[in-house]
Structure 1
């Protein structure tokens, strides 16, 4: 695969167009259900351009993992999501997360989690990239919780690292069940239960936002 840093601006744009097209196709049809030819046609590039930027499908999938991780992190960092650094902000984040699934009729699941389910046991490169992506996602959650801890809003017993890990695990498990059942209730329940646990560490009950989600 050609290093992105060595590409011209036009080359980087072309490569990103290929990766973006591949990400959308893989999200909709899965890795196995998406061929290099499918991606080539969707991106509007030639076969020689495909081989110039990607040695094989494995290298393309690895870049798709990075792309989907960026999409997720940007969504987590959006103004709508807020800073994730207060009980109210965490509840708002959870409600938005559930609403996105409702808006999608609970189809597709998590962009990163869906990929993990397909390739984590068969593609070491993709698994390594997935681990990095999930670690970055967890870091975003941990930073918010750490800010709350630093301000004294969480008791000393609270461990922001473990709470962030548990939040991400609840999110991923809830997403999978929601996708399977085509019902947002599992995701709403998982996030509500986890956030109720986070709120149990509040040093001042008055800082705890509204509980529950409409899912």
Structure 2
């Protein structure tokens, strides 16, 4: 019998933030510009290093405009987390939606390494960076970050589960645990690659996990 684990489900990864009130098209554009500006600054400087005035200047809005959409910085931070969740996961499509073979997993790995290389290993993971700064300080922010990571983990798990359900993995494989471990290897690799300014840690972490996943493949399906 497999050990029960606390893994995300489709029903428990919903965002905890209140719905955005209905806005005019102009209002939506202004709000989006503010959030994008805040996300850029918080990614570069951190949340603590980004003031409301900095965001106001970067977005090119007045103080009254900014406070019309966000009553306090905390609300803006939550909006940035949602923005980064969407950006990070969206940037990996369509690869992330079809991780149902070792070839697809390898292509996803290669794309992640190439993207970080092109960035010069600056910044690391936007979600991970926010998590490092906020998880112990802001419960609401932690929940939003956890939801973002859970969506990421769920996408990986769906691919591994598809391989398992096709009978291409040994019966003792645990797609849920493998998905979580792969995401953890990715996050650790991104952090070390950021610090060392080289792809080696990211490649090592991802390659080790992909080799581990391959070890569960039934020989006739191994590539």
User: Under a length normalisation based on structure 1, what TM-score does the superposition of the two structures give?
Assistant: 0.90
* 2:168 and 2:221 in contact (8 A); partners too: no
Structure 1 SS opposite 2:98:
coil
Could you tell me how far apart the structure 2 residues matched to 1:40 and 1:198 are? 47
* 1:141 and 1:164 in contact (8 A); partners too: yes
Could you tell me how far apart the structure 1 residues matched to 2:68 and 2:19 are? 11
- Distance change >3 Å, CA 117–CA 86, structure 1 → 2: same
Structure 1 gaps of 5+ residues are 209-215
1:40 equivalent in structure 2: 56
1:142 equivalent in structure 2: 157
* 2:181 and 2:209 in contact (8 A); partners too: yes
RMSD of aligned alpha carbons: 1.7
Superposition pairs of residues 64-103 of structure 1, within 5 angstroms = 64-78=80-94, 83-103=98-118
Superposition pairs of residues 151-166 of structure 1, within 5 angstroms = 151-166=166-181
2:145 equivalent in structure 1: 130
1:213 equivalent in structure 2: none
- Size of the aligned set, in residue pairs, is 207
Could you tell me how far apart the structure 2 residues matched to 1:201 and 1:45 are? 55
1:212 equivalent in structure 2: none
- Per-residue deviation at 1:2? 8.6
Q: 2:40 aligns with which of 24, 37, 42?
A: 24
> Quick check: 1:12 aligned with 2:28?
yes
- Per-residue deviation at 1:3? 4.6
Structure 2 gaps of 5+ residues are 1-16
Cα displacement string for residues 7-38 of structure 1 (whole angstroms, at most 9, x for unaligned residues): 22322222111111111111111112211111
- Per-residue deviation at 1:133? 0.5
* 2:97 and 2:155 in contact (8 A); partners too: no
Runs of 4+ in 1 over 6 A off after TM superposition: none
* 1:82 and 1:89 in contact (8 A); partners too: no
User: Under a length normalisation based on structure 2, what TM-score does the superposition of the two structures give?
Assistant: 0.87
